[in-house]
Amino acid sequence: MEEEKGGRIGQRPYILKIITERNYIIIIGMKKAKILLFVTALVAVLTSCGGGQKGLPTSDEYPVITIGASNAQLKTTYPATIKGVQDVEVRPKVSGFITKLNIHEGEYVHTGQVLFVIDNSTYQAAVRQAQAHVNSAQSAVAQAKANVVQANASLNSANAQAATSRLTYNNSQNLYNNKVIGDYELQSAKNTYETAQASVRQAQSGIASAQAAVKQAEAGVRQAQAMLSTAKDNLGFCYVKSPASGYVGSLPFKEGALVSASSAQPVTTISNTSTIEVYFSMTEADVLKLSRTDDGLSNAIKKFPAVSLLLADGSTYNHEGAIVKTSGMIDATTGTINVIARFPNPEHLLKSGGSGKIVIAKNNNRALLIPQEAVTQVQNKMFVYKVDAKDKVHYSEITVDPQNDGINYIVTSGLKMGERIVSKGVSSLEDGAKIKALTPAEYEEAIKKAEKLGENQSSASGFLKTMKGDSK
């Protein structure tokens, strides 16, 4: 601060120039005693409002709060990956060159819609060949059945001959007994009868063989039909269809590209995003806490409140989600458990493969809540100034919940209900200092008065009124 005297008081105007950081303040035509008194007050105001702790009415006045239980909501965030409820990789079942591509990336397709076509000339030839084998096998069946009919006819003829020879043999026996014919005639009749019986047996064997040939031919038909069915399926596989309704992903293969079922890369991915699954991981400590408080993890999942999704642009998704399942196993390498939450996606805003953060809110009805501006941090430790019964402050370490809302901390240790702490201006305090404790309301009122005084001093008319003691 510099002073410039323009003359003695009473002879000519006395000019005092006070150099501040921003302005010059000039005092004209005042008695020396009054000047000195005002300068003292002005310096005190400038010190409190600009040069020292901002907003403090005086150097020893601080707002003090009493610690009590509060209702607080903790929000825990977890990095998350967004996927469709159904993400299906599309791969061809047959090899060949793509002859037609019917879709575009990002296009919405329906189940069964043809996505692309593979060259089918080879598979059409296979169908024709298989059909020819079916026709040949069916002809063989028809021929075998005709042989059965013929064998049955032969059996009928043999049975007739056998019946006739049996009657002849019986008559010959009667004639022989009556001594009408001799041994030769009887033996001849017997031989004829036995030959007829052999023919019957042969005819029966022929029928069995013919029937077996029919079965074999029918098996050949079935085999040929199976080959035909496979050939037709392969021909159908040349028309690659969407396995689900959803949005088309990337298309790494274009028309003319050779694709096969063994290709490492799928031809595309279809994502059903009507419902979104969001994957994230919870720590083992969180899982244990849930398991203990809700009679097991499965019950905890059922009772879990709705969760929110923080998108990549920092906005909050306008639909709430629900946790539906966990992996059931803790990953030994990360110490976490995988959790899945589902969100509706009627506007199709969320895309498979995106990222975000799951936000889980927890209510604490007995939280020790203090403002963050009441806390000083040294490295990884946090401190507050406790105020004793004699209004002396004591530098005290506390621990807080790592999750906070950016305004307040929830104290987990170091403070008790009923204790008092300084809530603002802690950077200017020293351990053991004695303060004048104000309530937050009193402190704010003092701030307003200081601000009003500063406003009066910001103009020449307000400045003169202040010098004359006129506050109106």
Stretch 130-151: mean pLDDT: 89
Stretch 329-351: mean pLDDT: 87
Highest mean pLDDT among 26-35, 175-184, 342-351: 342-351
> Above 70 in pLDDT, residue 422?
yes
- Residue 290 pLDDT grade (very low, low, confident, very high; cuts 50, 70, 90): low
- Residue 34 pLDDT grade (very low, low, confident, very high; cuts 50, 70, 90): very low
> Above 90 in pLDDT, residue 318?
yes
Q: Looking at the domain that runs over 61-71+366-441, which CATH code has it been given?
A: 2.40.420.20
- Residue 285 pLDDT grade (very low, low, confident, very high; cuts 50, 70, 90): confident
Mean of per-residue pLDDT scores for the chain: 81
* CB-based contact 384:106 (threshold 8 Å): no
> Above 70 in pLDDT, residue 2?
no
- Residue 62 pLDDT grade (very low, low, confident, very high; cuts 50, 70, 90): very high
Q: What is the CA 294 to chain-centroid distance, rounded?
A: 24
Strand pairing report for 61-66 and 436-438 = parallel
> Above 70 in pLDDT, residue 65?
yes
The pLDDT value given to residue 189: 86
> Above 90 in pLDDT, residue 277?
yes
Stretch 454-464: mean pLDDT: 58
Of 47-56, 139-148, 463-472, the least confident? 47-56
* CB-based contact 322:342 (threshold 8 Å): yes
The pLDDT value given to residue 293: 59
Q: What are the beta bridge partners of residue 381?
A: 378
> Above 50 in pLDDT, residue 184?
yes
> Above 90 in pLDDT, residue 394?
yes
> Above 60 in pLDDT, residue 350?
yes
Of 94-108, 149-163, 383-397, the least confident? 149-163
Query: What is the C-alpha to C-alpha distance for residues 457 and 27, in angstroms, rounded to an integer?
Result: 12
Q: Sign of the C-alpha dihedral, residues 175, 177, 180, 183?
A: positive
The dihedrals phi and psi of 267, each to the nearest 5 degrees, come to -70, -25
> Above 80 in pLDDT, residue 16?
no
Query: What is the C-alpha to C-alpha distance for residues 229 and 237, in angstroms, rounded to an integer?
Result: 12
Of 52-66, 125-139, 307-321, 423-437, the least confident? 52-66
> Above 60 in pLDDT, residue 54?
no
> Above 70 in pLDDT, residue 442?
yes
The pLDDT value given to residue 93: 92
Query: What is the C-alpha to C-alpha distance for residues 388 and 143, in angstroms, rounded to an integer?
Result: 114
The pLDDT value given to residue 344: 93
Greater model confidence, 100 or 331: 100
Nearest to 197 by CA among 172, 226, 160: 160
- Residue 208 pLDDT grade (very low, low, confident, very high; cuts 50, 70, 90): confident
Going by C-beta distance under 8 Å and a sequence separation of 6 or more, which residues neighbour residue 122? Answer: 96
Stretch 420-425: mean pLDDT: 93
Indicate the angle between helix axes 440-456 and 460-467, nearest 10 degrees: 110
DSSP conformation class of 49: I
Of 49-58, 96-105, 124-133, 442-451, the least confident? 49-58
Greater model confidence, 56 or 167: 167
pLDDT in tens, 215-250: 888 999 999 999 999 999 999 999 999 998 888 988
Q: What is the pTM of this model?
A: 0.49
